[in-house]
Structure 1
Amino acid sequence: MKSKSIFFSGGMGLFLFSLSIFASLAGCSSAGRTYEATKSAFDSNDAGKMVEYYSPNVGYNTEEYNIINESGFQSVSTSPLSTFAADVDTASYANIRRFITDGELPPADAVRIEEMLNYFYYDYPQPKDDEPFSVTTEISSCPWNPDTKLMQIGLQAKNTDTTTKPSNLVFLIDVSASMDEPDKLPLVKNAFLLLCDELKENDTISIVTYAGTDSVVLEGAKGSDKKSIMSAIEDLTAGGSTAGSDGIKTAYKIAEKYFKTEGNNRVVLATDGDLNVGITSEGELIKLIKKEKESNIFLSVLGFGTDNIKDNKMQSLADNGDGNYSYIDSRFEAKKVLSDELGANFFTVAKDVKLQLEFNPKFIKGYRLIGYENRVMDDQDFNDDTKDGGEIGSGHRVTVLYEIADKDSPMNIGGDLKYQSTNETDSDEFLNIAVRYKNPDSEKSMELNYPVKADSIKPEMSENMKFASAIAETGMLLRDSEYKGSSSYESVLSLLDSISDIKSDESKAEFVELVKKMADMPKSDK
């Protein structure tokens, strides 16, 4: 996937990026930016207390994001299958929150709607019997397009007991000069100290750092030796260039050395992604991480910082390294990722998870997958066990939205094929959802199928679907999507206001406040 850099300086406002990149900034018109510490969100330990999100006083920006080519409508007569890899990353939402709390709209390519959706909790049922997932579907009217329906798919992973499973964790920490900011290494240290509170006696912990060169700070420490682990973390300092590829190789080598056959083996990378020594290109990093993951060691990428974060590199490392990607902008977020949702983020229950939907032309003439643009796969790759899918942890939820044009829709999706015909069956199934996955210690996949009946359309959306719809609508507004239809921040707030228990969920309550800020921003599309 292509990536682009966004460069601009403070002072005279010297622009160092092309007009096409400027157009993608979706309302970020300020050339130079001077940040001050801002506050937002609710502290989970004190419902009335605000949480500080770090924003350093920096006047330049060299952030990098992968280009997103938004998915359009597909004709069922020519493309009856929709195939993509599962994704549980949440970095995009936390990064968007950082922009909004700083009074800016994010660049369009920083907005990944699937990561916004998957940041939040949804009330999906636990799987039955020995199945690793439950799949819930709901179809209702689309709030922003009167000619389509909206379908929500909720995949819920089984909650497993992670307390008895030993972990072999290697903390791979970027201590280069670029990490010498309040929202970087100091926050990294706070985050890993929080993680130390979750360690079990039979866990094994190693710490590798990298700057100009890599260094093994701690190797093979027992989880019970928290004093040594915490002391090693607290003593970290920043300085030098960024030889991230060397650090990655060393971290995986140590993880292999202490590999636990029946345990959880994982490298936890904390960085701003600004690699400038050794292997630095995104393509070469992908090759490296694909090679390292063959050892059956998983990866968690934790992104930190502002103004020079290389989101594209961190996302690619996670997507290609059997991993997940989170962005940490506060102790609140660190606690969410490394404590509250530790099981989901660190204990994989299924790997290479892929979804393939087959739409019945008897009922549906077109569809559009909302988000997941960088996870779309060729249809034939669904059954190919050599093709990478997504990793899902204990209790993880994957939320997917499709916009659907049924047979009664006036939308013109595209012409039928000239030399082939679409044969309609007598089935009363609207569509079929196939989920393919591998157990964490296996390379052979299994498939589960979940047919959706045509009578599943509901006159009113559930609380789950109302919130997911509001997220998608907000994402389309931030991206200035050509498919946003009648979307507005006012309609989003109205939908959120109709959710009865939204204030009981701190993250969702915070989202309401962020939408209010978006609605008040200049050049926002209201």
Structure 2
Amino acid sequence: MKSLLRSSLSTLLMLFAAPVLAQPDAGTVGTSVIIGTVIDSSTKKPVADVVVTATSPAMQGEQTVVTDTQGNYRIPQLPPGVYTLRFEKESFKPYARPEIQLLRNRTIRVNVELLPDSFSHSVEVIGAPPTIDVGSTNMGVNIDEEFIKRIAVARPAGKGGARSYESLAELSRGTGGYVVDGRSTSESVSTTASGTSDRQRAPAWALPYMHIVVPDAPFSVSVEGFPSPARKGYQVVHIGVKAREVSRAQRKPSHLVFVIDVSGSMDMENRLGLVKQSLRLLVDALDERDRVSIVVYGSEARQVLAPTNATRKQELLAAIDSLHSEGSTNAQAGIEMGYALAASQLVEGGINRIILCSDGVANNGITQADGIWDRVKAQAATGITLSTVGFGMGNYNDVLMERLSQVGEGNYAYVDKLDEARRIFVQNLTGTLQVVAKDVKIQVEFDRKTVSRYRLIGYENRLLTKQQFADDTVDAGEVGAGHAVTALYEVKLRAPSQTSFGTLRIRYKAPQGGKSQLIEKAMPSVLLRPAYEQAAAPTRLSYVAAAFAEKLRGSYWARPLTYDALVSLWEELGAPMKARPDVVELGTLIRSARTLDRRADRFESFAPVRTMDADRVPTIK
């Protein structure tokens, strides 16, 4: 993810803001401009209403504009740095132009030709899907008026409002009872948060998910759909990927090198204080198979703890308690020292992991030009992977954190309270550390005869071309044991189909690498339920969380969905799902937002909700 919706729901909903690689000083901000023209590659005519988004580790947040009737765009007031531009419009393939070097006091032109959409959509799966864990009991954070202001950043909603949440929901570990291969059933099994099963009579329409099971595959896939409550004429399609579990006893031995930001910006209880509390939890979860090292960085990097067996808990706790804030933020020095320490104590056949704990702010020692990405990637190839854990609100940003974990073949998470740390470092420790599949890519190809339009909700920063999907040299994300990822689409059907509405493909490699394997499966139209309440509870929960996120962001597509309607959808989740603490928290957050959100609808003056076009976003002048 990436900008704007910063951790409203903790594990319920983790939405990403764009962090800072190097904070520019006051004299360099807003001095450069990117301009350009977007044309249709087939007709060579300009394309209006293309959403153009600029992101860079050199700035907070993102800049978004829309092309005019001549296909022109202009993005002003940019600090110098390396940028990625994304170009998105329905009926065209999304396109990203990375590695754009913008110098101080310069105007550069980036012209783009967009390809008409072939109705094929590929995304890479990220390491640790950090949003809704519908099997957890974690709580979120409070929504207040300041939170509403932070996420209410005006941005054209041409992408459907919801930024890149990476995964909108994690599937429940215990909700697989109603997943039956290709067969309907008169009974379904639902699983409570405690893991016990309740067998209940299901009506005739309650067909199961499509549950893809492939011999020796490290995960299964589920698909289900229902009419969109917010967008008339559209279906919500829910696609879930669930990795196989690995028991605690089967987990590989590990050497964990914690690289901890102790700069001035971390000197808060919900930052460095929370890091120390989190590490204390981890110490209790490790055993004789594990070793821990600690490196800290402020202005410089230094070793706090040499590789130490996890059974020597008093030494570990003493090192953790000694951490204190110091200096500026030389992230690169800390990462380099962490890798050197990991390489000196490599666990053959085990887990060798750098875990970077930071607020994502790096104002010294790390830039794109430093080649840090190449070094991180090279270390991952030797078996030393990198995970990142973000801490803190306010100026917290995570472009750097997410990008490092992606290149480092690890995973990314955000911790805003101790309950979330307990989920990552204790409850899901095996999944956090042990990878069961790498370079996981998902491709959905809709049948043009059946589907006229579609929208992917989230994942915009993980888009791949059809060629990249098939190319084994293109890196993608890793999936840990027990992890699950959910993607949501909105699709508009031309007419009911008696066969399928599209094809789902998944490509992945074994944890040790090698040639990728392909799973391919048609998505039969029978998976599209006639009503929201007839979808399985995890599918409904994923939608409620995603719709809430879009509502908070002021998405054009979510406008018809009032907070009262969201509360009603939450009420329809049913027992035992609705009784779980994390789902109770979601309901509380929705009601809090209903009370606090007093923003005006920025579209109402020229596109009233009652007459809004469900197919097209109006241009914001």
Under a length normalisation based on structure 1, what TM-score does the superposition of the two structures give? 0.79
Cα distance change on mapping 1:97 and 1:396 into 2, 3 Å: same
Structure 1 residue corresponding to 2:60, chosen from 60, 64, 88:
64
Q: Residue 168 of structure 2 contacts residue 458 of structure 2 at CA under 8 Å; is this kept in 1?
A: no
Q: Residue 278 of structure 2 contacts residue 421 of structure 2 at CA under 8 Å; is this kept in 1?
A: yes
- Matched positions, count: 459
> In the alignment, what sits opposite 1:199?
286
The answer to which of 358-367 and 72-81 deviates more is 72-81
> In the alignment, what sits opposite 1:406?
493
Distance 2:151 2:376 in 1: 27
Tell me which amino acid in the other structure corresponds to 1:270: C
- Aligned-partner SS, 1:231: helix
> In the alignment, what sits opposite 1:81?
120
2:130 is aligned with 1:130: no
Q: Residue 183 of structure 1 contacts residue 305 of structure 1 at CA under 8 Å; is this kept in 2?
A: yes
Structure 2 residue corresponding to 1:514, chosen from 579, 589, 606:
589
Query: How far is the alpha carbon of 1:260 from its aligned partner?
Result: 2.1
**Gaps in structure 1 of 5+ consecutive residues:** 8-15, 19-61, 410-425
Query: How far is the alpha carbon of 1:285 from its aligned partner?
Result: 4.5
- Aligned-partner SS, 2:292: strand
> In the alignment, what sits opposite 1:464?
538
Distance 2:397 2:452 in 1: 40
2:308 is aligned with 1:312: no
- Aligned-partner SS, 2:269: coil
> In the alignment, what sits opposite 2:504?
433
Identity of aligned residues (%): 31
Tell me which amino acid in the other structure corresponds to 1:85: E
Cα distance change on mapping 1:304 and 1:343 into 2, 3 Å: same
> In the alignment, what sits opposite 1:389?
476
Distance 2:464 2:558 in 1: 24
Q: String of CA shifts for 1:79-112, please: whole Å, max 9, x gaps.
A: 2210000135556789x95572564213367964
Distance 2:600 2:128 in 1: 27
The answer to which of 216-225 and 281-290 deviates more is 281-290
2:143 is aligned with 1:100: yes
2:168 is aligned with 1:117: yes
> In the alignment, what sits opposite 1:46?
none
Distance 2:488 2:423 in 1: 24
Q: String of CA shifts for 1:417-447, please: whole Å, max 9, x gaps.
A: xxxxxxxxx9933211111111111132111
> In the alignment, what sits opposite 2:579?
504
Q: Residue 350 of structure 1 contacts residue 440 of structure 1 at CA under 8 Å; is this kept in 2?
A: yes
Distance 1:507 1:113 in 2: 22
Pairs within 5 Å for 1:202-213: 202-213=289-300
Q: String of CA shifts for 1:154-180, please: whole Å, max 9, x gaps.
A: 111000124231111111111112211
Cα distance change on mapping 1:278 and 1:388 into 2, 3 Å: same
Cα distance change on mapping 1:70 and 1:473 into 2, 3 Å: farther
> In the alignment, what sits opposite 1:330?
417
> In the alignment, what sits opposite 1:442?
513
Distance 2:518 2:375 in 1: 29
Cα distance change on mapping 1:272 and 1:260 into 2, 3 Å: same
Q: String of CA shifts for 1:286-341, please: whole Å, max 9, x gaps.
A: 44433432223222211111222232221222222212221111111111121112
Q: How big is the alpha-carbon RMSD for the aligned residues of Structure 1 and Structure 2?
A: 3.3
- Aligned-partner SS, 2:560: coil
> In the alignment, what sits opposite 2:242?
156
| Structure with more helix by fraction | 1
Tell me which amino acid in the other structure corresponds to 1:442: G
Structure 2 residue corresponding to 1:523, chosen from 589, 594, 598:
598
Q: Residue 132 of structure 2 contacts residue 542 of structure 2 at CA under 8 Å; is this kept in 1?
A: no
Tell me which amino acid in the other structure corresponds to 1:267: I
Q: Residue 63 of structure 1 contacts residue 310 of structure 1 at CA under 8 Å; is this kept in 2?
A: no
Structure 1 residue corresponding to 2:273, chosen from 171, 186, 189:
186
Distance 2:306 2:593 in 1: 46
- Aligned-partner SS, 1:169: strand
Distance 1:116 1:379 in 2: 20
Q: Residue 176 of structure 1 contacts residue 212 of structure 1 at CA under 8 Å; is this kept in 2?
A: yes
Q: Residue 114 of structure 1 contacts residue 399 of structure 1 at CA under 8 Å; is this kept in 2?
A: no
> In the alignment, what sits opposite 2:524?
453
Distance 2:140 2:152 in 1: 14
> In the alignment, what sits opposite 2:386?
299
> In the alignment, what sits opposite 2:261?
174
Distance 2:475 2:547 in 1: 29
Q: String of CA shifts for 1:263-295, please: whole Å, max 9, x gaps.
A: 122111111111122114599554443343222
Distance 1:229 1:342 in 2: 18
Distance 1:6 1:434 in 2: 32
Tell me which amino acid in the other structure corresponds to 1:118: A
Tell me which amino acid in the other structure corresponds to 1:83: S
Query: How far is the alpha carbon of 1:490 from its aligned partner?
Result: 1.4
Query: How far is the alpha carbon of 1:116 from its aligned partner?
Result: 6.5
Q: Residue 244 of structure 1 contacts residue 278 of structure 1 at CA under 8 Å; is this kept in 2?
A: yes
> In the alignment, what sits opposite 1:372?
459
Q: Residue 270 of structure 1 contacts residue 303 of structure 1 at CA under 8 Å; is this kept in 2?
A: yes
Tell me which amino acid in the other structure corresponds to 2:272: L
Distance 1:115 1:176 in 2: 28
Distance 1:101 1:197 in 2: 34
Q: String of CA shifts for 1:208-230, please: whole Å, max 9, x gaps.
A: 11111111112221122122111
Q: Residue 370 of structure 1 contacts residue 402 of structure 1 at CA under 8 Å; is this kept in 2?
A: yes
Distance 1:234 1:336 in 2: 22
2:446 is aligned with 1:359: yes
Cα distance change on mapping 1:292 and 1:98 into 2, 3 Å: farther
The answer to which of 272-281 and 72-81 deviates more is 72-81
Query: How far is the alpha carbon of 1:449 from its aligned partner?
Result: 1.5
Query: How far is the alpha carbon of 1:238 from its aligned partner?
Result: 0.9
Distance 1:237 1:141 in 2: 53
Q: Residue 63 of structure 1 contacts residue 311 of structure 1 at CA under 8 Å; is this kept in 2?
A: no
Query: How far is the alpha carbon of 1:145 from its aligned partner?
Result: 1.2
The answer to which of 141-150 and 117-126 deviates more is 117-126
Query: How far is the alpha carbon of 1:385 from its aligned partner?
Result: 1.4
> In the alignment, what sits opposite 1:36?
none
Structure 2 residue corresponding to 1:340, chosen from 409, 427, 445:
427
The answer to which of 120-129 and 325-334 deviates more is 120-129
Query: How far is the alpha carbon of 1:516 from its aligned partner?
Result: 0.9
Pairs within 5 Å for 1:262-273: 262-273=349-360
Distance 1:518 1:215 in 2: 44
